[in-house]
Amino acid sequence: MKTRSELGGPQLQFSAAPSDRRPVAVVGLLALAVVYTLYFAAGLLIPIAISIFISITCSPVVRHLARWHIPQGLSAAIIVGTIMSVAALTVLALAGPAEKWLNDAPQTIRGLQDALLPAKGPMADFQELADEVNELGTVDAPEKTPSVIIEGPGILENVVGGLPSMLASVGIVIFLSFFLMASGDSILRKLTRCGRNWSERRRIVAIARCVQSDLSRYLAAVTLINLFLGAAVATTMHLLKMPNPLLWGAMVAVLNFAPYIGALVSAAVLTLVALTTFPNLAEALMVPGSFLVLTILEGQVITPTVLGRRMALSPAILFVSVIIWGWLWGIAGALMAVPITTSLKVVFDHSPTLGLPASFLGKDSKDSIVQKTTRGRRTPVRSATQP
C-alpha cells in the first residue's frame, strides 16, 4: 500500500517560523533592556566608563614602573593624583575667563545683532515700522494689572545644586581608577577561569593583552593629539589678539574628542567671539579660517598618520555613534563616543566569532579585502567524504 506522499498528493509542511522568531525577539528585548539601562543609569555608568578608560590608558605606565620595583598601589596613587591635580589646576585657571565670557555672552550677542542690523537693508526698516505700529496700538490701551514674575534659579544656584552629584562622580572616578590600576593582573587571572582548558585560558590572556595594548595606545595617542591641537589653537588665538586664548584652546582640545560635531561647535563659538571682538570683518574671519586649517590638518594628516589604518573607523559609524551616545549620556557621551566605539572594534577584531561587526565599524580598504580573500583560499577545506 502506497503512502500519500508516494502517490504525489499534497504534503503537509510545518513552518518553523515561531521557533525561529524566538531568538530574534529575545535579542530585541535584550537590546531594549541595554538601551534602557544605559539611558536611566547614566549618572552611575559615566564615571565608571571614565575610570575604565583612565585605567586602560595608564596601565602601561604602571607596568613600566613595576619593573623599577615600585609597588602598583603607589604607582596608581601617583598617576591618579597627577591627573586630578592637572585637572583641578586647569579648571581653576579657566574658571575666571569662562565665567566672564558667560556673563558677557548676552551683551555680546546683542552687540552682534546691532552690528548686523544695518546690513539687513529693507528688513531693518520693516522691523522699525512694525515697532512703531505696536507702540501706537498700546498708547490708549488700559493699564494692565501688574504681574508678578518668579525668576528661576540662576547659574550659580544650578551649580551649587548639582555639586553633590558632581562630587560623587569625581569620587567614583578617583577611587575606581585607583583600584583598577592597583589590582594589576588579578582581574585577568580571575577571567581566565572561564576557560575550560589550558589552551582556552592562554587564548583569553592573549586577547586581553592585545585589547589592552591597542586601547591604551589609541587613547594615549588621541589624548596627545587633542592636547597638541588645543595648544596650537591657543597659540594661534594669542597671535590673532583674541581674548582668553587658553580658554579657546582648552575648549577645542575637549570638544575634539567628539568628531565632526565638536569641530562644528568650536568653529561656531570662535566665529561668534571673533565677530564681536574685531571691528573689521576680514580680521574676524581670520579666527575661524585658521581654526579650520588646523583641524583639517589634524584630521586628514596627523591622526591617520599616527593611528594608521588599523584603528581607522568609518566616518558614518563615527557620526552615528556620536549622535547615539550624545542622546544617551549627553555631552559626556558625545565625548566618549569614539573611545567606546574603538573599544568595541578592538574587542570584535580579536574575537573569531565577531568579524562581521568589526568589518562594519572599521574602514575596509581594497587591500584588506584581497588579503582576507587570499587568506581564506589558503585554508584547506576537507570534503564530507574525507575522514
Would you state the pLDDT for residue 136? 52
| Domain annotation covers residue 216 | no
Would you state the pLDDT for residue 237? 93
pTM listed for this prediction: 0.71
What 3-state DSSP class applies to 267? helix
Domain containing 86 equals 45-116+168-184
Look up cell 558625545; give the residue: 334
**Number of folded domains in the chain?**
1
Range list of H helices, 240-314: 245-255, 261-277, 281-297, 303-307
| Nearest partner of 63 among 205, 216, 199, 285, judged by Cα | 216
Q: Which residues contact 183 (CB under 8 A, 6 or more apart)?
A: 72
| Domain annotation covers residue 141 | no
3-state DSSP percent of the chain in helix, strand and coil, to 5: 80, 0, 20
| Domain annotation covers residue 68 | yes
Is residue 368 very low, low, confident or very high in pLDDT (cuts 50, 70, 90)?
Answer: very low
Burial of 119 (0-12, 13-18, 19+ CB in 10 A): exposed
| Nearest partner of 188 among 54, 342, 56, 77, judged by Cα | 56
pLDDT digits (tens, 9 = 90+) for 51-69: 998 888 888 888 888 888 8
| Domain annotation covers residue 84 | yes
| Domain annotation covers residue 16 | no
Would you state the pLDDT for residue 122? 52
pLDDT digits (tens, 9 = 90+) for 65-110: 888 888 888 999 999 999 999 888 888 888 877 777 777 666 666 6
| Domain annotation covers residue 304 | no
Across 208-237, b (16+ Cβ under 10 Å) vs e yields beebbebbbebbebbeebbeebbebbbebb
| Domain annotation covers residue 94 | yes
| Domain annotation covers residue 264 | no
- Higher-scoring residue by pLDDT: 330, 132: 330
DSSP letter, residue 380:
-
